Amino acid sequence: MKTNEVPQDEGSLAKKNVNELCYAVDERGRYTTVPSRGWEAKTLALAESLELIEERIAATKEAVMAGQLSPIAYYMELHRMDIALLASYAGIHRWFVKRHFNPKRFGKLKEKTLRKYAGAFGITVEQLTSPIWQDNE
Amino acid sequence: MNIAFEHRQSAHCENGVISNLLNHRGVSLSEPMAFGIGSGLFFVYLPFLKVNFAPGFSYRPMPGQIFRRLAKRLGIRVKHQRFSSPEKARAILDEKLRQGIPVGLQVGVYHLTYFPDEYRFHFNAHNLVVYGKEDGEYLISDPVMDYTTRLTEQELERVRFAKGALPPKGHLYYLERLPERYDLEKAIRKGIRQTCNDMLAPVPIVGVRAMKWVARNIRKWPASIGIKKTNHYLGQLVRMQEEIGTGGGGFRFIYAAFLQEAGKVLDNPALIQRSEEMTAIGDAWRDFALDISRIYKNRKSGPDVYDKLSAQLLDLADRERRFFAQLKKDI
């Protein structure tokens, strides 16, 4: 890559005013660093991955609203977690986490357990137990 | 407390932290040098490990490896510490800062407040330097950022004790002792030799053989797992290759920069020649990423598209095989 070939397509980092450093060859063949505003090829790959996450969140949200899953499942997807990760953040074994996906069991959870989940998601117990469609996080 | 610490941006976090910590102690070592001596160039394919619902690909060795090898090869003593209690982790960090020592930290990316949302994944092997504390806030030099930032005590604790794969557990490190003099030439040779051996390793999940395996799978995926999943897997490959930290082309350009510098240090013109070849290989990796991204852009994906990508990757594997065999002879 030559210094004048370093892509400057506005990417998501550019929004936060962060440039990425790329290594490129100058006109005399010496290596140097050039700040880059982003590259379309990367932005597209990242968008594909984010789309997949959005799809999963939407599907889980529907299931929660239909009463098939508890809000824990929704917040887990929202925070890009899987069961193992949520289990370690909440300090609850993954078998129980999976059981707590059941809305009925979720309804019976103690305040103490709810607080653990809420802590893992960085929200209050009230937010966790209120219907998710009111929540615009 | 505020240590006079020079923040220099780098492509990759680990090399950047090493380079900046050494620079603080008056040893000037460029990022490519740190990367090359630490044998940072790599390729590994972990088909059974699912990361973000796709197989694991990596263009670099396990986090921390580059630093450890570099320290060993230059005779630098580095003190590493992990903690079970966040209070203790904070107390030791504060103590080191009071002593005027800039401290490197391993952190999770997800809760880093200064990162854009798109980059906040549960990835726990990011590195940064803390160089002071002011009004209860830590002064942060994150090498992939243009500028220095700040984190509150709670924010820093959250990233230091992130959970998931490779949890940092408050991992901190600082330079303890530097050697009186070190043998740069010998370290460079060792670094290059290990990279050649890694890339030519006779195991299927590492180096050029792993690339070939991935290439064969790209041809099979559309039939076995469907187009949608195939595209997601390829997206993962592109992100690992090009995302912040690699300096472009899956670290190939940083490595080419290293070979150029090494050629001058060792007075070996063959390495300068190799550097040019590596640049061309890096360009071919960029073309590969560009061709993958076209699948998303044009939404067109006949089987021939994947056959072509597979052939492209096979060709790259072949070129790198010849490249590292030659490099091994040159050193």
pLDDT tens digits for range B55-87: 989 998 988 899 999 999 999 999 999 999 999
Q: What is the pLDDT of residue B123?
A: 87
Give the mean model confidence (pLDDT) for residues B263-288.
96
Q: In this structure, what token pair is assigned to residue B97?
A: 């800062």
Cβ-based contacts of B116 with chain A (< 8 Å): 12-13, 15-16, 18
In chain B, residues 285-304 whose CB comes closer than 8 Å to chain A: 286, 289-290, 292-293, 296-297
Which one of B10, B111, B234, B253 would you mutate to disrupt binding with A, by most A Cβ within 10 Å of its Cβ?
B253
Cβ-based contacts of A93 with chain B (< 8 Å): none
Query: pTM score, two decimals?
Result: 0.92
Residue A85 near chain B (CB below 8 Å): yes
Which of B167, B186, B110, B105 lies closest to B138, judged by CA? B105
Residue A63 near chain B (CB below 8 Å): no
Burial class (CB in 10 A: 0-12, 13-18, 19+), B48: exposed
Which one-letter amino acid corresponds to residue B107?
Answer: V
Percent of chain B with pLDDT over 70: 98
CATH number of B13-37+77-177: 3.90.70.10
Gap between the Cα atoms of B105 and B171, Å rounded? 6
Candidate from B248, B260, B290 with C-beta closest to A22: B248
Top pLDDT among B127 and B116 is at B127
Residue B98 near chain A (CB below 8 Å): no
Gap between the Cα atoms of B12 and B314, Å rounded? 27
Q: What is the pLDDT of residue B10?
A: 94
Domain ranges across chain A: 3-38, 47-134
Q: What is the mean pLDDT of chain A?
A: 91
Which of B124, B128, B122, B110 lies closest to B166, judged by CA? B124
Complex ipTM value: 0.90
- Positions of CATH 3.90.70.10 in chain B: 13-37+77-177
Q: What is the pLDDT of residue A136?
A: 47
Which of A1, A51, A58 lies closest to A29, judged by CA? A1
Run of H or E including A35? strand A31-36
Q: Is there a contact between B116 and A41 if contact means CB atoms under 8 Å apart?
A: no
Q: Is there a contact between A45 and B286 if contact means CB atoms under 8 Å apart?
A: no
Gap between the Cα atoms of B327 and B306, Å rounded? 31
- Range with the poorest average pLDDT among A131-135, B82-86, B90-94, B116-120: A131-135
Q: What is the pLDDT of residue A127?
A: 93
Top pLDDT among B49 and B92 is at B92
A55-103 tens-digit pLDDT? 999 999 999 999 999 999 999 999 999 999 999 999 999 999 999 999 9
DSSP string, B69-121: HHHHHHT-EEEEE--S-HHHHHHHHHHHHHTT--EEEEE-STT-TTS-GGG--
Give the mean model confidence (pLDDT) for residues B160-164.
94
Q: Min CA distance, B84 vs chain A (Å)?
A: 14
Q: How far is CA B130 from the centre of its chain?
A: 20
DSSP classification of residue B126: E
Cβ-based contacts of A13 with chain B (< 8 Å): 116, 119, 244
Q: What is the pLDDT of residue A105?
A: 96
Gap between the Cα atoms of B331 and B326, Å rounded? 9
The domain A47-134 is placed in CATH, from the list 1.10.260.40, 3.60.150.10, 3.40.630.30, 1.10.3720.10, at 1.10.260.40
Burial class (CB in 10 A: 0-12, 13-18, 19+), B298: exposed
Confidence of residue B301 (pLDDT cuts 50, 70, 90): low
Secondary structure class of B234 (helix, strand, coil): helix
Give the mean model confidence (pLDDT) for residues A105-134.
91
Gap between the Cα atoms of A119 and A132, Å rounded? 17
Gap between the Cα atoms of B323 and A52, Å rounded? 37
DSSP β-bridge partners for residue A36: A20
Confidence of residue A18 (pLDDT cuts 50, 70, 90): confident
